[in-house]
Structures are given as structure tokens and as C-alpha cells.
Amino acid sequence: MSNSSVQYRTIEVKGLNLFYREAGNPEAPTILLLHGYPTSSHMFRNLIPILSQQFHVIAPDLPGFGYSDAPDHQDFEYTFDNLAGTMQGFMEKLGMKRLALYIFDYGAPVGLRLAMANPEKITGIISQNGNAYEEGLSQEWNPIRQYWKEPTQANRESLRDFVSEKATWFQYHEGVPDSSLIAPETYTLDQHFLDRPGNIEIQLDLVRDYKTNVELYPAFHRYFRKYQPNLLLVWGNKDPYFLPVGAEAYKKDLPEAILKFYDTGHFALETHAAAIGSEILDFMHLLPR
């Protein structure tokens, strides 16, 4: 088996079985790929073969997503602090000493917590529609902001369509000029996991807790200014959730950041995996070992 072959593994971390994909030479620099909502490491299926030719790639499924354990929301605290703590345990169990982070959507607040907690381990950050500035939040967040402001049961119930098949389809297709590039197994697989019994409560808990990410933005910015991590921004400029101004805002704190926009939506890898993969390879060669 070649080093670039993808291996599908499971490891126990803090009592949870976490699924992850691994490829590439373990002696090469590591890239940790952190997925977002509502997907899993499956979103990296086209990127991993590109990156693993030269680098060691690890892509876990977060608790509650994909093939990782998804305990009931009354048995596991679905907060971003807790997701990050679980990923910290994952990194430690795999002995990850130096790594670049790829952050997307929910993976951004998880990954940036990891970066703040492990500044000496992070060689660089790749943000693909991974928001860290308030100006990047679109009006699509307004119903969720209302839930943050008034976390009532009625406001929670009003967000149940957030996990609907229609909403998942929209996330993949909105802003994409050529919808024939969107593989149907993407949103179909995501919806399969969203439709599991009890999963809607998991997702609504995370939607409620997303407020803590926005509250942490100033801390993320202080981290950027203090440590000046190498940063590559690869951004679908038609993302209905995270606006291009959110990508541009990073340059306030990281003026040397490399910024590349693509004519696509939220899931930029679905349409531009080859171009983004090429940018990441170039970026990785700039990083310290």
C-alpha cells in the first residue's frame, strides 16, 4: 500500500470512538483537517489524495458527526469548548507535535481554540470559509442570533428546519455557478447523519453554543497579533453564511496572510478541490518544519 492510500481508522478519546482518515508519509509534515457543519471528514475526500502525495494528512469526524460516536445530548455536552477538548485529546493520543491546521465552518472555532492552546505546535493555518470576525457573519445568522439573545424553547423550535433536507441541499448549492459539480452523495450522506434519532438536539445545542465562538473572536485576534501564524485563506466568495469581508478581515491582524477567492459557495472543495489543493501545497512549502 502506498503512503498516499487513505486509511480509515477509529481511536478512543475520552470514552468516545472517533473516526478519522489518514494518508501520506507519517514522517512528513502533518496537516490536520477539521470539517464543519453538517458534514464530516468525507468533505475532504478529493483534497486528501492531493495533499498526501507530499504531506501527512489526518481528518477526524467531530463527536456528533459522521462516523464518530454521537452520544445523546443529555450524556455529552455539545459545546465548542468540549469539541476542542476532545480534539486536544485526539492530538495528544496520536502524538501530534507539529502540524498545520485546515479549518472550515465549525472546524474554525474548534481549530482556533486548539491553536491558542498549542501555539508552539502550529506551523500554519489554512482557513477555508472558516470565520473569525463578526463582519463575516451574513444575515442568514439572524434567526440564530435571536436564539442566542433569547434561548427559549420557542426560538429553539423555530430552528428545526436548520437540519432539514432542504437546508442541507441549500448549503451545498447556493452560490455555485455549475451545480453539476456537486456530488449528490455529499448532502445525501450529511442528511443521513442529521436524520439519526436525537441528532437534531445535538445540532441545536451546537447552534446555541456558537454564540461562545463570536464572544471568543477578540481572543482569536489577540492570538493572531501575538503569534503571527502563517495563514492561507481560500474562500468561496458566494458563501451564504460567511461573507468575503470575513476573509478580508483576517488581514487586519495578519497582514501577510495569503488570500484567494473562488467563484463558488460554502463547500468550496466540491467545485475547486484541485485549485485549493495546489494553493495548499505551495503554502505548506513556505512553513517551518
The single residue of 56, 73, 266, 272 carrying the catalytic annotation is: 266
Q: CB neighbours (10 Å) of residue 285?
A: 10
DSSP states along 64-118: TSTTS----TTTS---HHHHHHHHHHHHHHTT--SEEEEE-TTHHHHHHHHHHH-
Distance CA 197, CA 164 (A): 14
Handedness of CA 234, 235, 236, 241 (dihedral sign): positive
Contact 49, 4 (CB under 8 A): yes
Cα(114)–Cα(20) distance, rounded to whole angstroms?
A: 18
Question: Is-catalytic flag, 73?
Answer: no
Task: Tell me the pairing of strands 122-127 and 231-236.
Answer: parallel
Residues annotated catalytic, as ranges: 266
